Structure 1
Amino acid sequence: MAKIKIAQNPTFTAVVQVPRIGGEPAPVEFEFRYMDRVTLASMFDRWNKARDAWNEKARKGEASWEEVTAGEITLQAEQLGEIVTGWDLEDEFSQEAIVNLVRTCIGAPKAVTDAFQAAYSQARLGN
């Protein structure tokens, strides 16, 4: 029987198919921060509350499309900042680069967060 440590590695990698407008998605390796189940749940709760607040403002007409979009960009950049610790892009990894990725690659935030979540789903399947 193989012996493993209960403690997980502090980071893990996954390849993300980053959507490119007018082209094929590009495979990019991302390094993610490991989180335990309680930390994940807390983070997802915060994300959902923030997203719901922006959706409510938009529904009530309390914010313009530009304001909602700016809020979404800020939220998505914060999300990636929480889970991503590095990447294999030509642009050096930084908070500014995360914001640029979110602003210019509309599908990237979802692709990255989906890959992060999928890593946890695959871990469950393997046990």
Structure 2
Amino acid sequence: MAKFKLVAEPTFKCKVSIPRPGQENGQIEFTFKHYKLSDITKFEEELKDKSVAEFVMKIVTGWSLDEEFNQDNMEILLNNYPAAIQAITDIYYKEIFGQREKN
């Protein structure tokens, strides 16, 4: 068992299943930034009038796609696969708040 640390690692990786219409879901591994609860509340308030891509870019720091990780490409992903928005944010919050599904 891994030793518990009082302060969380700054980033963590998770595979996200992205729904694709008419196809099987695609898998992308994202690197997420770990935020403290107080920081999450603060940036959620700051970003409430911003685009979804800006919010996702705040919590994601990289991905396993061949394309460069940047805001323009994130907007392409989210515009082409709108279900990715919920898939990405759901995984992030489940990991942060420890609400993982049991296998």
Q: Structure 2 CA distance, aligned partners of 1:4 and 1:123? A: 18
Residue type of the alignment partner of 2:61: T
State how far apart, in whole Å, the 2-side matches of 1:81 and 1:17 are. Answer: 18
Partner AA of 1:27 in structure 2 = Q
Inter-partner Cα distance in structure 2 for 1:34 and 1:13: 10
Q: How does 1:27-66 map to 2 (within 5 A)?
A: 27-47=27-47, 49-50=48-49
Q: Deviations over 1:56-96 (max 9, x none)?
A: xxxxxxxxxxxxxxxxxx61110111000001112221121
Determine which structure has greater relative contact order: mean sequence separation of CA pairs < 8 Å that are 6+ residues apart, divided by chain length: 1
| AA at the equivalent of 1:101 | L
**Per-residue deviation at 1:118?**
0.7
- Match of 2:51, SS state, is helix
2:86 is matched with which residue: 78, 100, 110? 110
RMSD: 2.0
When the two structures are aligned, how many residues end up with a matched partner?
A: 99
| Counterpart Cα distance in 1 of 2:67 and 2:83 | 18
Matches within 5 A, 1:3-82: 3-47=3-47, 49-50=48-49, 75-82=51-58
What residue number does 2:66 align with? 90
Gaps of 5+ in 2: none
Q: Which has the higher helix share?
A: 1
- Which runs of 5 or more residues in structure 1 are unaligned? 51-73
Counterpart CA distance in 2 for 1:83 and 1:45 is 14
CA shift in 2, pair 1:90/1:46, >3 Å: same
Secondary structure of the corresponding residue to residue 12 of structure 2: strand
**Length-normalised TM-score, structure 1:** 0.69
**Percentage identity across aligned positions?**
32
Q: Which has the larger radius of gyration?
A: 1
